[in-house]
Amino acid sequence: MRRLTRNDSDAARKITRRAMLLGSIQGALVGVLALRMRYLQVEQADQFKLLATENAIKIRLLPPARGLIHDRKGVVIAGNEQIYRVTITREDAEDVPTVLADLARLIALSDDEIARLMAEIDKRPPTLPITLADRLSWEEFSRIAVNEPALPGLTTEVGLSRFYPRGGDFAHVLGYVGPVSDYDLSKIQDPDPLLQIPKFQIGKLGMEAKLEDLLRGKAGARRIEVNVTGREMREIERREGDPGAIVRTTLDARLQNYVKARLGEESAAAVVLDLTEGDVLAIASAPSFDPNLFVRGISNADYKTLTENDHRPLADKTVQGAYPPGSTFKLVTALAALEAGVIGPGETVYCPGYMQLGNRKFHCWKKGGHGQVDLEFSLEQSCDVFYYDVAQRVGIDKIAEMARKLGLGVKHDLPMSAVTEGVAPSKDWKKERYGKDWQIGDTLNSAIGQGYVLASPLQLAVLAGRVATGRAIVPRLVRAINDKDVPSPEAPPLEIDPAHLQLVRNGMDRVMNGKHGTASASRTVDPTVLMAGKTGTSQVRNISVAERASGVVKNDALPWERRDHALFVCYAPVEAPRVAVALIVEHGGGGSTAAAPIARDILLQALYDGFPPLTAYPEGQRSRIEEERKSLPLAAPESFSKAKSRA
């Protein structure tokens, strides 16, 4: 037998050490597995027993509170209210038709409603809770809760729903929320699981829709134990969701309420701009509607009343409405002519009451004409022939360029629905749109804000603000998000000669304060708030040669829908402009009589942050103004308290 050598002994020792090391590692692994098995089988036994018994642990999404919307002073203009509802989960219900039939004995559910609910339940995942009824009374809610053990799959819940405490004041700017529809889901590539919950509310129009991602928030979740019949036994875990953002707007609730009251039942719209930062202080379309009707489910009768009203309460005239701006557009034509050098400060044009172009006459509003007219007087008296003349010399393309520089023909980026771009027509625009060449007659019509020119009240407010300040004012609606300020857009100086701007401002001053000003009846007399403005009247019908020969029919003698639109733009104070207003009264007649008085009242209300002293008005008007104030349907002052307005 061979004796072991020294090398053999060393090798044996190495093998023994390796075996011990390997054995130690294996032992450690077995120990870890044993401890893990003990943890799962002993310490977590109850938990896994629950999970294994009839899938007894359910996870339910918790809808977050929708973010609040405030005015600039913290008053809630879109909040939430507590509601009671009942839901059903098909997976947990033994017999859905029987459960619904039993529920119908406790609350009012018609056969049609039950059929609709069955269709909704069948097309949704069996694990998804379906809302059967919401906005239950406390008595209805209590009856269901008491009988809940006998109604498998049913759950009573206390939730939140959108509420608009200011009613119709902000209906057009805020819009409203409503249940998620299949159409809504089809527009979203990767929908939030929250949107799968039937009757979950999302923004449908206005700021509610445009700021949906900010306002919706993040879902929470609750883990609950249920028995084999689906009845909830206990809540195991609850994780609240993140509420939506609190959005502070630039709007002033009290001013908005006044504007809506002052517009009354006219078919009208007004926009009020702060000229320091471009804040939209008020933006109102009349008549309005109560957005709470849509949140709660508007009836066919109520909806029919809104859609059949010829004043179009559902339309937002402030940003969606595109109107011929009438003589307010003369501000654009005047600046285009001055910048092009085709007319100087003292140059005059003779107005005989019309301009002959070929075999057609383009008339001035004053049949006998204005005689010799310079630029400032042309604005004061709104002479049409002056602008026919200078427009031919400057050309439509330069007028269109100036219009865009002053905010017309531009889509302003506000979080509102269907914001119009309007039309600042040019030669290329007509060729592209209609396939026709531009005509000189088109230029003459455009020069006085008729023809193809279209603008919204928002754009006209921007026009007034830019002329007043000489800066490229940009309107904004959101002031802060979760108390973090949103920077106001830059407003660089306009690339327009300041001397030319001043000439136009002088003309607007004379419109209000000149001896022959078209809006002098609506002037202010307080020297600290003197106004500058421009009237506008835009035709909605053609006036035939025969009618002109026999005498143009006055607006009062025409059916309402054939009367002229009345427009007015203004700013104040003249020497240091702080606020601009644009207003249109559809089919109101003349801008000086129908629009200017309302715009003046709104402008003063904004400047004084409330009713101005009667001494701001001409002495002969003060008694009438005082009586008009008393008749306005204004909200109670205490309702604008920040503390009382939170929801």
> So which residues are the catalytic ones?
327
Q: What is the largest CA-CA distance in the chain?
A: 146
Let me know if 427 is exposed, middle or buried by CB neighbors in 10 A (0-12, 13-18, 19+): middle
Backbone angles phi and psi of 485, in degrees to 5: -60, 140
- DSSP letter (8 states) at residue 575: S
Q: What is d(CA 619, CA 616) in angstroms, rounded to the nearest whole number?
A: 9
Write out the two tokens for 235: 């809540």
Q: Which helix (DSSP H) or strand (DSSP E) does residue 202 occupy?
A: strand 201-203
Residue 367 sits at the vertex; the CA angle it makes with 347 and 536, to the nearest 5 degrees, is: 70
Helices 384-394 and 440-447 meet at what angle, rounded to 10? 130
End-to-end C-alpha distance for the chain, whole angstroms? 100
Q: What is d(CA 315, CA 286) in angstroms, rounded to the nearest whole number?
A: 9
Where do the H-state alpha helices sit in 438-488? 440-447, 457-469
Residue 416 sits at the vertex; the CA angle it makes with 410 and 420, to the nearest 5 degrees, is: 30
With contact defined as beta carbons under 8 Å apart, do 579 and 607 qualify? yes
Q: What is d(CA 209, CA 195) in angstroms, rounded to the nearest whole number?
A: 14
Peptide bond into 287 cis (omega under 30): yes
Pick the closest to residue 229 from 417, 95, 127 (CA basis): 95
DSSP letter for each residue of 226-248: E-TT--EEEEEEEE--BPPPPEE
With contact defined as beta carbons under 8 Å apart, do 101 and 151 qualify? no
Q: What is d(CA 385, CA 154) in angstroms, rounded to the nearest whole number?
A: 75
Write out the two tokens for 269: 């719209």
Let me know if 558 is exposed, middle or buried by CB neighbors in 10 A (0-12, 13-18, 19+): middle
